Amino acid sequence: MEETIRRVQLTGGATYIISLPKNWANKRGVKPGDILLVRELPDGSLLISPSMKAPSLKDKLTRINVTEDDPDSLARLVVAAYIAGYNTIEVTSLNKGIPPRCVERVKTIIKRTLIGVELVEETMEKLVLQVFIHHVDFPVVKTVQRMASLATHMYLDALKAFKMRNAELLKEIMNRDDEVDRLYMLATRQLTLAIRSPELLHEIGLHELRDCLEFRLVIRHLERVADHAVVVCKSLLEIIRRPVSENLLEELEDYVNNALEALKYSVDAVIGRDVARADQAIKAREKVRMREERLVAEILEKGKFNAREVAALRMILESIRRVSEYSAGIAEIAVNLTTKTPL
């Protein structure tokens, strides 16, 4: 990145002017008489664009050349291109065509992982993926709320399904993690784009560049919360045929509610930039930790459960505690966001 220093000059007694770097002007095709767009960014800096329109990635294209029959590697490259902000992704193979397994994996990724992506062209040698997303329709704050809501109901519904001894419902709840992953990928893409083009900050509902860093951590924590909901469902399937006392079920339900209370406080805190809510989330984590100790003691009481069942129950307790830990992490981010950056 080139840097130049320019001295501010006063002309006409009222107007401040600076000269543009000649190399930059030549590269961008800027000529005398052209109109430039000057935009003030939230951090106080100025963005100068060589057109009346803000910079866009509308025509940004990347090509991925397939040289091996490796669907997993190709999937990672497609996801990386999506997150990087490309709106057109061409997958090509100039030799023997794209292997069928790779084609199917790309289609699966589009369906299960990438929001707003369509396969617009398909031949033996080429796949063209097009991204159709309007940033203003997916503000990051709304995405955070949606991720938190999905994850919360995964835990609540998992307990309900276990009480009903409904294994199929538990498996369906596990599939909801795909939707959380889709939202995570979308938000990561938007935050990446906003870092590159700060004029997008307002469109995705943020205020300044450092918000991108903080919210990147927030969505990662929420994605992990949903991952642990899947662990809880799998562990409940391990003991679904095992009689569990009503008392233990009630304590487990209270334990889950305590953890989800911490999650709610933390999300409210980060969205509202609310230190009081953040403190509530961190205190709720301590409540979860203390309750976990009591539940572990009850589970380990001699003769109640066999070794496999104890392992499943311990995994459930640990995953739920992790919810409170991630919530405390989000709460700390909320505190960071309330602190003004030095000028």
Mean pLDDT of 157-167: 95
Give the pLDDT score at 60. Answer: 83
Give the pLDDT score at 54. Answer: 46
> No. of H helices and E strands in the chain?
10, 8
DSSP 201-222: TTTTT--SHHHHHHHHHHHHHH
Mean pLDDT of 263-278: 96
Least confident range from 51-55, 90-94, 286-290: namely 51-55
Give the pLDDT score at 52. Answer: 47
Least confident range from 26-30, 256-260, 281-285, 333-337: namely 26-30
> Higher pLDDT residue, 92 or 207?
92
Mean pLDDT of 208-233: 96
- Reported as half-sphere exposure (CB side, CA atoms, 13 A), residue 253 has a value of 14
Give 262: exposed, middle or buried? Use CB within 10 Å, 0-12, 13-18, 19+: buried
Radius of gyration of the chain (CA): 26
Across 86-151, the runs of DSSP E, i.e. the strands, are 88-92, 117-122, 126-131
Mean pLDDT of 304-329: 92
- Tens of pLDDT, residues 26-52: 887 888 888 888 877 666 778 787 764
Alpha carbon separation from 232 to 65, 139, 283 (Å, rounded): 40, 30, 23
Alpha carbon separation from 329 to 218, 224, 319, 332 (Å, rounded): 8, 12, 15, 5
pTM attached to this predicted model: 0.84
Instruction: State in words which class domain 61-131 has.
Output: alpha beta
Give the pLDDT score at 198. Answer: 82
Least confident range from 62-76, 147-161, 188-202, 270-284: namely 188-202
194 Cβ contact list (under 8 Å, min separation 6)? 200, 201, 204, 206, 209, 212
The answer, yes or no, to whether residue 338 has pLDDT greater than 50, is yes
Give the pLDDT score at 1. Answer: 58
Give the pLDDT score at 242. Answer: 85
Give the pLDDT score at 37. Answer: 80
The answer, yes or no, to whether residue 113 has pLDDT greater than 80, is yes
Give the pLDDT score at 55. Answer: 46
Least confident range from 51-60, 153-162, 207-216, 325-334: namely 51-60
Give the pLDDT score at 130. Answer: 95
Say if domain 136-338 classifies as CATH 2.30.40.10. no
